[in-house]
Structure 1
């Protein structure tokens, strides 16, 4: 990858870190039932609320970058040349890791929390049967819904590229509507909500990227202030679309500016993580399930001192991120070295 593109990879790294932190928080803090009223409970609730407020800054920029990086495939490359790399490869990883997550998380729950009641229809990883697993995967009710979305989005936006403006306007409207009338399946809800951000990147990414690079906050302070206040006001009335679009622009501008001050390094943490997003994304949910269930059992049983519990509550998302990143990177190397990377790309003959 050329150095001029590393700052984009750094954004991907930031996004996958936020995704891991998100799953670390939702599988841990809400299930701590024995915390007494006090500082520890306050810390747990603070992480939970912070996780909610980070939502507009997490997936929108991730999808915009994902769309921007395949702009050429959407506009110039013929369908036949796209099927293998842009559709089949991702579908293969989605199905393979859907099964691996289902088996892994099922075994972890039987081992660490056999009495815990799960809603089998809430996530494909908690399915009670093969048919239920297939149904949940089809409805995008899976922790791998990002991969599901990448396949659907590419086909959708390549097929409808002749009607860019009306389709994108419709998707922006659907994004607003779905905030008040969500779909019955949380995964499909997320897929539909984020379509407009991927479309912005896939169809208008190069133009928006050029505009972003030339835009100066100092030359338009009043406009920037009004947009910031307006987007925040809309977010508070459950319309996160504008603040999400603003966050895409702001995050890209920050990383691009930092890169212009000091050229991004290929060895930087965010670049390494951003280069291995699929490996971390597919493996982290299994790791988090084991970490969370183990720590929840220890804390709820009262086997740890208050000071130790406080320390765990303060740093758990970051510790979980470090562990998930190391395991994801390690498993990717193992897959490449011993299995011809078959865990993250289809075997050549099958492809």
Structure 2
């Protein structure tokens, strides 16, 4: 990636960090609210609510960037080459890590919390049979739903690129509707809700990026204030699409200005993380399951003193993020060194051979 584009990679790094923190919170703190009272309960609930409020700022910009980075494939690359270089790679990683997460998380639950009752249809990783696993994966009820979405989005937006404006308007409307009438499957609900952001990046990303770079928002304080108030008001009545779109441009502008002030470095933490989002995304859910169940077990058994418990509750998401990030980066290096990176890209002999015609 050219140095002038590193700031975009930094945004990807921020997004995957927020995803890891999100999963760290939802697998840990809800189990503690009924066990603890007083300050520990307050801290646990604070993390849960903070996690909810971060939702409009996490996945929308992630999908916008994901769409923006494949604009060339959407607009000009032939379908055959897209299947070989884009769709097959993502499908391979989705299927492989769907199975690995299922096996890994099932073993971890049996080992650390055999008494814990899981809903086998809530997540493919908790499936009890192969049919349940296949059904959950088909409904995007998997922690890997982001990869599922990338596959679906690419096909949709490449197929419908002649109808950009009406399709985007329809998807923005669907985003609003689904806030009040959600789909029965949480994974598919997330896939449909975030489709408009990917489309904005894939179809209009170049124009919107240029507009973001040249617009001086502080020259229009009243307009900016009005948009900010409107977006917050709509968010409070369960219409987050406006604040999500606004957050995309605020985050893009912030990172662009930071890059203009101090040029982004290739060895910066966010750039390294942003360059390995798939490795961290696929591995972190297994690690988080083990961490959360181990810590919950320690807390339940009284192995952690009250002062130490407060420290754990305050910093757990950040410690989890550090462990998951280092583990993901380490496993990616191991995959490359020992297995030809087969855990994150299809082995050469499995890649469909291009047609000779």
TM-score, structure 1 length as denominator? 0.99
| 1:178/1:193 contact within 8 Å kept | yes
Aligned to 1:297: 297
- Summarize the Cα distance change of 1:206–1:296 in structure 2 as closer, same or farther, 3 Å threshold: same
Following the alignment from structure 1 to structure 2, what is the Cα–Cα distance between the partners of residues 312 and 84?
46
Aligned to 2:354: none
CA RMSD across the alignment:
0.7
Following the alignment from structure 1 to structure 2, what is the Cα–Cα distance between the partners of residues 333 and 103?
22
| 1:34/1:300 contact within 8 Å kept | no
Following the alignment from structure 2 to structure 1, what is the Cα–Cα distance between the partners of residues 158 and 300?
50
Aligned to 2:79: 79
Structure 2 counterparts to residues 1-351 of structure 1, below 5 A: 1-33=1-33, 35-351=35-351
| 1:34/1:299 contact within 8 Å kept | no
Could you list the per-position Cα deviations for residues 209-247 of structure 1 after superposition, in whole angstroms to 9, with x for gaps in the alignment? 000001112111111100000000000000000000000
| 1:280/1:329 contact within 8 Å kept | yes
| 1:26/1:48 contact within 8 Å kept | yes
Following the alignment from structure 1 to structure 2, what is the Cα–Cα distance between the partners of residues 236 and 190?
19
Following the alignment from structure 1 to structure 2, what is the Cα–Cα distance between the partners of residues 68 and 23?
25
| 1:125/1:133 contact within 8 Å kept | yes
Deviation, structure 1 residue 302 = 2.0
Following the alignment from structure 1 to structure 2, what is the Cα–Cα distance between the partners of residues 40 and 338?
44
Could you list the per-position Cα deviations for residues 272-318 of structure 1 after superposition, in whole angstroms to 9, with x for gaps in the alignment? 00000000000000000000000011112222111000000000000
Q: Secondary structure at the match of 1:132?
A: helix
Deviation, structure 1 residue 121 = 0.1
Deviation, structure 1 residue 38 = 1.3
Q: Size of the alignment, in residue pairs?
A: 351
Following the alignment from structure 1 to structure 2, what is the Cα–Cα distance between the partners of residues 303 and 80?
57
Following the alignment from structure 1 to structure 2, what is the Cα–Cα distance between the partners of residues 185 and 34?
27
Could you list the per-position Cα deviations for residues 261-282 of structure 1 after superposition, in whole angstroms to 9, with x for gaps in the alignment? 0000000000000000000000
Following the alignment from structure 1 to structure 2, what is the Cα–Cα distance between the partners of residues 289 and 301?
18
| 2:149/2:191 contact within 8 Å kept | yes
Following the alignment from structure 1 to structure 2, what is the Cα–Cα distance between the partners of residues 345 and 303?
42
Could you list the per-position Cα deviations for residues 36-95 of structure 1 after superposition, in whole angstroms to 9, with x for gaps in the alignment? 321111111100000000000000000000000000100011111111121000000000
| 1:33/1:300 contact within 8 Å kept | no
Q: Secondary structure at the match of 1:218?
A: helix
| 2:28/2:292 contact within 8 Å kept | yes
Following the alignment from structure 1 to structure 2, what is the Cα–Cα distance between the partners of residues 302 and 45?
20
Following the alignment from structure 2 to structure 1, what is the Cα–Cα distance between the partners of residues 32 and 40?
10
Following the alignment from structure 1 to structure 2, what is the Cα–Cα distance between the partners of residues 250 and 35?
39
Following the alignment from structure 1 to structure 2, what is the Cα–Cα distance between the partners of residues 127 and 241?
32
| 2:33/2:45 contact within 8 Å kept | no
Following the alignment from structure 2 to structure 1, what is the Cα–Cα distance between the partners of residues 305 and 203?
54
What are the ranges of 5 or more consecutive residues in structure 2 without an aligned counterpart?
352-357
Q: Secondary structure at the match of 1:304?
A: coil
Following the alignment from structure 1 to structure 2, what is the Cα–Cα distance between the partners of residues 277 and 53?
23
Following the alignment from structure 2 to structure 1, what is the Cα–Cα distance between the partners of residues 36 and 139?
39
Following the alignment from structure 1 to structure 2, what is the Cα–Cα distance between the partners of residues 347 and 28?
36
Following the alignment from structure 1 to structure 2, what is the Cα–Cα distance between the partners of residues 222 and 86?
43
Following the alignment from structure 2 to structure 1, what is the Cα–Cα distance between the partners of residues 53 and 173?
22
